[in-house]
Structure 1
Amino acid sequence: MKRVLVTGADGSIGRAAVVGLQAAGYEVTGLSLRYDHTSTADRPLVGDARSADDVGAALDGVDAVLHLAAIPHPSLGTPEEVFENNVAATFNVLAQAGQQGIGRAVIASSINAFGVPMNVNQVVPAYYPLDEEVHADISDAYSLSKSVDEQSARMAWRRWGTDVIALRFPLVKDHAELLKFAARAERDPSGMAREGWAYLDLRDGVRAIIAALESTVAGAHVVGLAADDILIDRQTDELLREYAPTVPLRRPVHGRDALVDTARAKELLGFTPRFSIHDDDQVVSAVTI
C-alpha cells in the first residue's frame, strides 16, 4: 500500500489524516468539494464524493481509500440533504473502489449510528459501556445515514470483496478544542449523557485510521472508538447515578473510566488510545502521532 485516497480531505479529521498518513510514509490523493485550507496532499483534487467521474479519477493509482466526506451534523442541512448526501457519497466511493479492485477501505461512521445520542425522544442507551452491538433507536437523518453507511460497507465486501472498516468516531477534536467542549459539558453534563461523555483526541483518531488501513483483517467490520476516560473531570459512576440512573452497567467502572467498549479496536486493529484530555503535559498538536 503506497497511495491512499482521502475524501473529505479539507475537513478537520481529513487534514490531520493527510498529514499523519504522509508522516507514516504514504502518498496521499485528497478529494474535497473545495479547499478552505492549504492541503499537504501531494495530489489535491476538487470533486464530489457522490460523483462517479470525480471519484473514479481520484482513484487513479490508489491502493486504499479513507472516506471521510460527509455532512457531519443533522443541523447542517435538511434531513433529505443530510441523508442523501452521506449515503450517496459512501456508496459511490465504495462502489468505485470495488469496481477498480481496491482491496481496503476505511470509512467514518459515528457513535451516533445507534441513534440514541441525537434521538428527539426521551430514550437512553440499552446499557453501558456502549459497544458495536448496542440496540439502535434512530430518529434523525444523520444517525440513519451512518447506520446505512455501515450496511453499505458490508455490501461492498460481499459484492466486490473490498475489506472495509467503519470507525465509529465519538467527538474528535485536538486537545485545545476538547478543553473548550469539556468546559461546556462541565456546566451541563446531561447533554452528553446518552453518548457516555465519550471523546477521542484527534491524534488518536489519526492513529486509529492508520491502524485500520494497515490492518489485514478481512471482511466488513464496525469498530467503536473512544479515549480511555470520559471528557469531563468527574467520577464516571457519579455521573451515571445522576444522569443515567436507569441504564444497566455491564461492568464496574472506576475513576473516570470510559463508557465505550473499545475491545474490538484492540482485537482487530491493535489500537489503544494514547492521549487523554486530563493529562496536563499534553502537547497541543493535531498531527503528532
Structure 2
Amino acid sequence: MRRVLVTGADGSIGRAAVDGLRAAGYDVTGLSLRYDQASTADRPLVGDARSSADVVAALDEVDAVLHLAAIPHPSLGTPEEVFENNVAATFNVLAQAGQRGIRRAVIASSINAFGVPMNVNPVVPAYYPLDEDVHADISDAYSLSKSVDEQSARMAWRRWGTNVIALRFPLVKTREQLFKFAANAERDPSTMAREGWAYLDLRDGVRAIIAALESPATGAHVVGLAADDILIDRPTNELLREYAPTVPVRRPVPGRTALVDTSRARDLLGFTPHYSIHEDGQTVSAMTS
C-alpha cells in the first residue's frame, strides 16, 4: 500500500488524516468539494464523492481508500439531503474502488449509527458500555445514513472482496476544542448522556485511521472508538446514577472509565488511545475556572 485516496480531504478529520498519512510516508490523493486551506496531499483534487467520474479519476494508482466525505450532522441539510448525500457518496466510493480491485477501504461511521444519541424520542441505550452490537433505535437521517453505510461496507466485501473497516467515531476534536465541549457538557451533562460522554482526541482519530488502513483484517467490520475516559471530569458511576439510572451497566466503570467498549479496536486493529483530555493534571474545572 503506497497511495491512499482520502475523500473529504478538507474536513477537520480529513485534513488531519492527510497530514498524518503523509507523515507516515504515504502518497495521498485528496478529494474534496473545495479546499478552504492548502492541503498537504501530493495530489489534491476538487470533486464530488457522489460522482462516478470524479471518483474514478481520483482512484488512479490508488492502493487503499479512506472515505470521510459526508454531511456530518442532521442540522446541515434537509433529511433528504443528508441521507441521500451520505449514502450515495459511500456507496459510490466503495463501488468504484471495488470494481477496480482495491482491497482495502476505511470509512467514517459514527457513534450515532445506533440512533439513540440523536433520537427525538426519550430513549436510552440498551446498556453500557456501548459496543458495536448495541440495539439500534433510529429517528434521524444522519444516524440512518451511517447505519446504511455500514451495510454498504458489508455489501462491498461480499460483492467485490473489498476489506472494509467502518470506524464509529464519537466526538473527535483537537485537545483545545475538546476543552470547550467539555465545559458545555459539564454545565448540562444530560446533553451527552446517551452517547456515554464519549470523545476522541483528533490525534488518536488519525492513529486509528492509519491502524485500520494497515490492518490485515479481512471482511467488513464495524469498530467503535473512544478515549479511555469520559469527557466530563466527574466519576462515571456518579453520572450514570444521575443521568442514566435505568440503563444496565455490564461491567465495573471506576473513576472516569469510558462507556464505549473499544476491545474490538484493540483486538482487530491493535489500536489503543494515547490521549486524554484529563492528562497532565489538566481537568475541565481547572481549564474553565
Aligned equivalent of 1:178: 178
Aligned equivalent of 2:5: 5
Query: Hey, what's the Cα distance between the residues in 2 that align with 1:272 and 1:231?
Result: 17
Query: Hey, what's the Cα distance between the residues in 2 that align with 1:12 and 1:155?
Result: 28
Deviations 1:184-233 (A, max 9, x none): 00000000000000000000000000000000000000000000000010
1:106 aligns with 2:106: yes
Aligned equivalent of 2:287: none
Query: Hey, what's the Cα distance between the residues in 2 that align with 1:186 and 1:50?
Result: 39
Aligned equivalent of 1:285: none
Aligned equivalent of 1:169: 169
Structure 2 SS opposite 1:193:
helix
Aligned equivalent of 1:268: 268
1:200 aligns with 2:213: no
Aligned equivalent of 2:243: 243
Aligned equivalent of 1:76: 76
Query: Hey, what's the Cα distance between the residues in 1 that align with 2:279 and 2:179?
Result: 11
TM-score (normalizing by structure 1):
0.97
Counterparts of residues 39-50 of structure 1 (less than 5 Å)? 39-50=39-50
TM superposition shift of 1:64: 0.1
Instruction: Letter of the 1:185 partner, please give it.
Output: A
Structure 1 SS opposite 2:117:
coil
Structure 1 SS opposite 2:230:
coil
Counterparts of residues 31-70 of structure 1 (less than 5 Å)? 31-70=31-70
TM superposition shift of 1:281: 7.2
Counterparts of residues 199-238 of structure 1 (less than 5 Å)? 199-238=199-238
Query: Hey, what's the Cα distance between the residues in 1 that align with 2:220 and 2:271?
Result: 17
Query: Hey, what's the Cα distance between the residues in 1 that align with 2:232 and 2:152?
Result: 34
Query: Hey, what's the Cα distance between the residues in 2 that align with 1:243 and 1:206?
Result: 31
Query: Hey, what's the Cα distance between the residues in 2 that align with 1:253 and 1:172?
Result: 22
TM superposition shift of 1:275: 0.2
Aligned equivalent of 1:152: 152
Query: Hey, what's the Cα distance between the residues in 2 that align with 1:80 and 1:180?
Result: 31
Number of paired residues? 282
Q: 1:281 to 1:206 in 2, by over 3 A?
A: farther
TM-score (normalizing by structure 2):
0.97
Query: Hey, what's the Cα distance between the residues in 1 that align with 2:118 and 2:194?
Result: 8
Deviations 1:61-103 (A, max 9, x none): 0000000000000000000000000000000000000000000
Structure 2 SS opposite 1:280:
helix
Aligned equivalent of 1:120: 120
**Greater than 4 Å deviation, 4+ residue runs:** none
Aligned equivalent of 1:134: 134
Q: 1:281 to 1:248 in 2, by over 3 A?
A: closer
TM superposition shift of 1:37: 1.2
Query: Hey, what's the Cα distance between the residues in 2 that align with 1:251 and 1:57?
Result: 49
Aligned equivalent of 2:26: 26
Query: Hey, what's the Cα distance between the residues in 2 that align with 1:253 and 1:88?
Result: 39
Deviations 1:24-73 (A, max 9, x none): 11000000000011101000000000000000000000000000000000
Structure 2: unaligned runs, 5 residues or longer: 283-289
Structure 1 SS opposite 2:96:
helix
1:16 aligns with 2:16: yes
Aligned equivalent of 1:286: none
Query: Matched residues, percent identical?
Result: 87
Say what the alpha-carbon RMSD is for the aligned residues: 0.7
Query: Hey, what's the Cα distance between the residues in 1 that align with 2:99 and 2:177?
Result: 39
Query: Hey, what's the Cα distance between the residues in 2 that align with 1:263 and 1:41?
Result: 32
Instruction: Letter of the 2:195 partner, please give it.
Output: E
Instruction: Letter of the 2:79 partner, please give it.
Output: P
Query: Hey, what's the Cα distance between the residues in 1 that align with 2:281 and 2:85?
Result: 40
Instruction: Letter of the 2:141 partner, please give it.
Output: A
Instruction: Letter of the 1:70 partner, please give it.
Output: A
Query: Hey, what's the Cα distance between the residues in 2 that align with 1:21 and 1:281?
Result: 30
Instruction: Letter of the 2:143 partner, please give it.
Output: S
TM superposition shift of 1:280: 2.9
Instruction: Letter of the 1:168 partner, please give it.
Output: R
Query: Hey, what's the Cα distance between the residues in 2 that align with 1:62 and 1:180?
Result: 38
